[in-house]
Amino acid sequence: MRQRILPRRPVKGGFGVGLRGHEHIKVKARTDALARQSEIGGRLGLSLQHNPATIDVVSHDLMASRGYVKSTDAAAAAPGVTWGGAPGNPSQFVVRGFLSNQINVLRDGIYLGPSTMVTRPFNSFNLDSMQVMQGPASMLYGQGSIGGTIDMVTRKPDLTKRKINLEAGYGSFNSVNAGIGVSSPIAKNLAARIDFSRTSSDGYVEGATPHSNDLTASILWAPSDKFRARLGVDYLSDKLSTYYGAPLVPLSVTGHRVGDYCIAPMG
């Protein structure tokens, strides 16, 4: 917020010159998105505007405004990024046509393992941002990151003041989305934060009732401006939808006994 004080101009009229004084003009604006620094772009402190890499940052405010409930939906908001799921790999990203282990998936900048084994659709309430760097990034993160790198950045504690975040939503098919987060300073250079969120739905298919419970907690210690240490814990318990489309079987399997089904022209 910027404040500018201007001298009040004399007003000539039926009652003479106006009163002496000053006018206060307050202008409020958000920080330019290109001036933001991203954790995924290296440790040189470059802004998105000056970083030579192609980086997209989906902030928490953007997730909330667009109704992104899962981290997969937030990542797909970046250009050139899509995702799909399978029973053994429910959160597989595709960046510029590359997929599977050709993409690195990080959690707060830390590589946890192959994306086909450890990646799950986390709740977006617990995230501060989803950051996507497209193109080769083996120099920064190794592991043959050919297609790109995706970093799920969780919310961090605030050393200056206490914060409480609440979120609640209800939608079709008895879909519920709720979350609560608390951040508080403990000492001068110590702060803690904990977030819990739950999503659930009856689904549009009988028997497919996905739900997810996500708990993240962290402690931040900053003894100086040049050193910070953070300890974080993540716990996720989920049950994903078991519906992957209606199966197609030959009529010979059913003994040509079919009811309440669609029959293809080729049998």
Residue 183 has pLDDT above 70, yes or no: yes
Give residue 16's pLDDT band: very low, low, confident or very high (50, 70, 90).
very low
Query: Which residues span the domain enclosing 54?
Result: 33-154
Say how many domains are in the chain.
Answer: 2
Are 106 and 89 contained in the same domain? yes
Per mean pLDDT, which of 133-137, 203-207, 220-224, 250-254 is the most reliable? 220-224
3-class SS letters over 36-64: CECHHHCCCCCECCCCCCEEEEEEHHHHH
Are 178 and 239 contained in the same domain? yes
Close Cβ partners of 33 (under 8 Å, ≥ 6 residues apart): 48, 57
Q: Which of 120, 154, 188 is the last residue of a domain?
A: 154
Q: Which of 104, 119, 154 is the last residue of a domain?
A: 154
Q: What is the mean pLDDT of residues 43-65?
A: 86
Residue 184 has pLDDT above 90, yes or no: yes
Give residue 182's pLDDT band: very low, low, confident or very high (50, 70, 90).
very high
Residue whose pair of structure tokens reads 């990542």 in the numeric block = 75
Please say whether the beta carbons of 239 and 213 come within 8 A: no
In a domain, 1, yes or no: no
What gap in Å lies between CA 153 and CA 60, rounded to an integer?
A: 10
Region for 147 from its dihedrals, namely left if φ exceeds 0, alpha if ψ lies in -120 to 50, beta otherwise: alpha
Give residue 212's pLDDT band: very low, low, confident or very high (50, 70, 90).
very high
Q: What is the mean pLDDT of residues 159-164?
A: 94
Whole-number pLDDT of residue 17: 46
